[in-house]
């Protein structure tokens, strides 16, 4: 499996995955619109690094452009397709829900339709821990019901899971969908808490601490995340002949070559501890503005990564202290602070 097609390659996770694969000697074709949801210069800087590698090629276009998606996929003839592109952000989905329909629903359909034409060995698509919504039983398990999404972003991602399952069933296309848990690390998104907090702390500004700090997140270091995705390439789901073939705790569908996999650190960290780690790495105390919970948000996330471990023999292991030190060091160097 040497030819890999990645959507969202100029994004945070897509960049790190492409970089890992190129170091392994894979050929990577990236697809990205490089939109202005957040600073396009950061995306261009990521792309500039990837473009230094001869095995990297790139298409700049929107997922909503079915012809562009189709042409890029067919021309590259990938062994594996990794669909990471999406309109992200829980809060922004309240302000501009149409963007999520166009990118996450229509764009994902376009990608799946193109994938059917080239028949890759494996289609892998990103979902999110946000699909667990109002679930209170933790840690979250892939086999638990997830029917109470709290944001429109999460709803479109749950729709992607349903679309992926139906497509896998109809077309017998092996598909794995992974649920990410609060990913952080170098080259991270400016709209995410690690970036917002670090920028404000180093600049002497207040940080907004929602739900009065009574929040918990399963923070997952990006290096661990992309390693897990890479290992899942080789764990190709097959349609079972009977339910007896499905191991206990496996989310493998009984009617399709389809599986859901959590990728998380399996350790829910309190928001106050997370802020303290940034303070320690930055050498500056935070000024805190405690606020109410924002619409669409959830108070806690916590992954059960047992299935990932059983499938790949791997589990994310970077501690929050190690990851934050690396992130703050990158932030200081990139922004000169």
For residues 10 and 271, give the distance between their C-alpha atoms in angstroms, rounded to a whole number.
Answer: 28
Which of the 8 DSSP states describes residue 112? Answer: H
153 a catalytic residue:
yes
- 142 phi, psi to nearest 5 deg: -60, -30
Cα–Cα distance measured from residue 198 to residue 155, given in angstroms and rounded to the nearest whole number: 30
Q: Which of 118, 102, 117, 22 is nearest to 62 (CA)?
A: 102
What residues contact residue 211 under an 8 Å CB cut-off, 6+ apart? Answer: 271, 291, 292, 293, 297, 299
Q: Could you tell me the two tokens for 167?
A: 């497509």
Kindly calculate the radius of gyration of the chain based on its CA atoms and give it in whole angstroms: 19
Instruction: Determine contact, residues 180/126, Cβ cutoff 8 Å.
Output: yes
Give the separation between CA 234 and CA 225, rounded to whole angstroms.
15
Q: Give the up-direction half-sphere exposure of residue 101: CA atoms within 13 A in the CB hemisphere.
A: 5
Structure tokens at 281: 């790495």
User: How many Cβ atoms from other residues are within 10 Å of residue 12's Cβ?
Assistant: 26
Question: How many residues are present in the chain?
Answer: 337
Report CA-CA distances (Å) from 186 to 75, 128, 172.
32, 20, 37
Set 153, 184, 314, 335: catalytic member: 153
For 270, counting Cβ atoms within 10 Å of its Cβ (0-12 exposed, 13-18 middle, 19+ buried), the class is: middle
d(CA 205, CA 199): 8
Positions marked catalytic: 153
């Amino acid at each position: 499996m040497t030819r890999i097609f990645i959507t969202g390659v100029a994004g945070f996770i897509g960049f790190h995955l492409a970089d890992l694969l190129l170091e392994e000697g894979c050929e990577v074709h990236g697809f990205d619109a490089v939109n202005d949801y957040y600073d396009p210069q950061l995306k261009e800087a990521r792309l500039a690094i990837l473009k230094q590698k001869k095995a990297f090629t790139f298409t700049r276009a929107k997922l909503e452009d079915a012809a562009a998606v189709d042409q890029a996929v067919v021309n590259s003839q990938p062994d594996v397709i990794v669909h990471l592109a999406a309109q992200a952000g829980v809060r922004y989905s309240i302000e501009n829900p149409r963007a999520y329909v166009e990118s996450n629903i229509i764009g994902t359909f376009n990608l799946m339709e193109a994938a059917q034409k080239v028949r890759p060995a494996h289609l892998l698509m990103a979902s999110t821990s946000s699909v667990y919504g109002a679930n209170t039983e933790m840690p979250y398990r892939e086999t638990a019901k997830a029917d109470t999404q709290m944001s429109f972003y999460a709803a479109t991602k749950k729709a992607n899971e349903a679309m992926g399952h139906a497509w896998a069933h109809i077309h017998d296309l092996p598909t794995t969908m992974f649920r990410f848990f609060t990913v952080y690390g170098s080259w991270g998104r400016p709209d995410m808490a690690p970036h917002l907090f670090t920028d404000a702390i180093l600049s002497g500004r207040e940080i907004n601490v929602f739900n009065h700090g009574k929040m918990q997140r399963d923070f997952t270091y990006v290096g661990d995340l992309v390693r897990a995705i890479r290992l899942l390439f080789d764990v190709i789901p097959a349609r079972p002949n009977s339910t007896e073939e499905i191991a206990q705790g496996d989310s493998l569908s009984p009617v399709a070559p389809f599986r859901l996999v959590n990728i998380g650190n399996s350790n829910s960290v309190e928001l106050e501890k997370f802020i303290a780690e940034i303070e320690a790495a930055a050498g500056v105390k935070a000024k805190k503005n405690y606020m109410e919970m924002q619409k669409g948000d959830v108070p806690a996330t916590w992954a059960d990564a047992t299935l990932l471990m059983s499938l790949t023999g791997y589990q994310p292991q970077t501690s929050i202290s190690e990851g934050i030190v690396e992130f703050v060091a990158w932030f200081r160097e990139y922004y000169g602070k």
